[in-house]
């Protein structure tokens, strides 16, 4: 299963911001400077923890009903949704460093022309592999 929805409890902090925990997932907690930041952080930590549980073939806990949560003081609960397949694709799109060798004269000419080596290599690999440009609506570009 790649799509999940879990309740998160937002605890207002005295100095401002929120601490946030997911009562169904051990060790799944975060914080935010304000509500928007807290929602962003909660939406980031949940798939991170669930990917770890999936990868280690650990039991994925059943989500509690938001109505069954016990809240204190000014705490409030909300549901956070995530897609671990989408999160994995995001992680796989992170850059990796590669070392390569080219002739000195070619390097000098490219530097003088202001060439972005990383972009040229990415474009060349896409062409070589027959892959579309990631922002293209035409799969033949």
The enclosing domain of 47 has a CATH number of 3.30.160.250
Per-residue confidence band for 140, with pLDDT thresholds at 50, 70 and 90: very low
Q: Does residue 132 sit in the same domain as residue 86?
A: no
Rounded average pLDDT over 12-27: 95
Q: Does residue 80 sit in the same domain as residue 17?
A: yes
Q: Does residue 60 sit in the same domain as residue 123?
A: no
Rounded average pLDDT over 87-116: 85
Helix extents (H) in the chain: 35-55, 84-92, 104-112, 117-129
Average pLDDT score, the chain: 88
Q: CB–CB of 85/26 below 8 Å? A: no
Rounded average pLDDT over 80-107: 85
Number of domains present in the structure of the chain: 2
Q: Does residue 11 sit in the same domain as residue 77?
A: yes
| Whole-number pLDDT of residue 131 | 76
Write the pLDDT tens digit of every residue in 41-88.
Answer: 999 999 999 999 999 999 999 999 999 999 999 999 999 999 999 988
Q: Does residue 28 sit in the same domain as residue 84?
A: yes
Q: Does residue 26 sit in the same domain as residue 67?
A: yes
Q: Does residue 35 sit in the same domain as residue 85?
A: yes
Domain region containing 22:
3-92
Burial class (CB in 10 A: 0-12, 13-18, 19+), 103: exposed
| The model's pTM | 0.66
Report how far residue 103's alpha carbon sits from residue 109's, in angstroms, rounded to the nearest whole number: 10
User: What is the DSSP secondary structure assignment for residue 67, as one 8-state letter?
Assistant: G
pLDDT at residue 96 is higher than 70: yes
Q: Does residue 34 sit in the same domain as residue 99?
A: no
User: What is the DSSP secondary structure assignment for residue 21, as one 8-state letter?
Assistant: E
Q: Does residue 66 sit in the same domain as residue 135?
A: no
Taking residue 140's Cβ as centre, other Cβ atoms within 10 Å add up to: 6
Q: Does residue 100 sit in the same domain as residue 126?
A: yes
Greater pLDDT, 123 or 78: 78
Q: Does residue 80 sit in the same domain as residue 107?
A: no
Sheet holding 18-21, edge to edge: 29-32, 18-21, 3-12, 76-83
Q: Does residue 104 sit in the same domain as residue 88?
A: no
Greater pLDDT, 97 or 107: 107
């Amino acid at each position: 299963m790649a799509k999940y929805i879990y309740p998160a409890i937002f605890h207002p902090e005295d100095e401002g911001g929120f601490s946030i925990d997911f009562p169904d997932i051990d060790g799944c907690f975060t914080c935010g400077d304000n509500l928007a930041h807290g929602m962003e952080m909660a939406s980031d930590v949940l798939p991170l923890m669930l990917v770890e549980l999936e990868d280690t073939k650990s039991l994925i806990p059943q989500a509690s009903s938001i109505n069954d949560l016990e809240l204190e003081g000014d705490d409030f609960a909300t549901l956070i949704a995530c897609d671990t397949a989408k999160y994995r694709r995001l992680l796989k799109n992170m850059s990796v460093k590669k070392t390569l060798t080219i002739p000195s004269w070619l390097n000098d000419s490219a530097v003088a022309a202001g060439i972005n080596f990383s972009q040229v290599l990415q474009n060349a690999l896409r062409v070589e592999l027959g892959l579309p440009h990631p922002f293209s609506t035409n799969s033949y570009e």
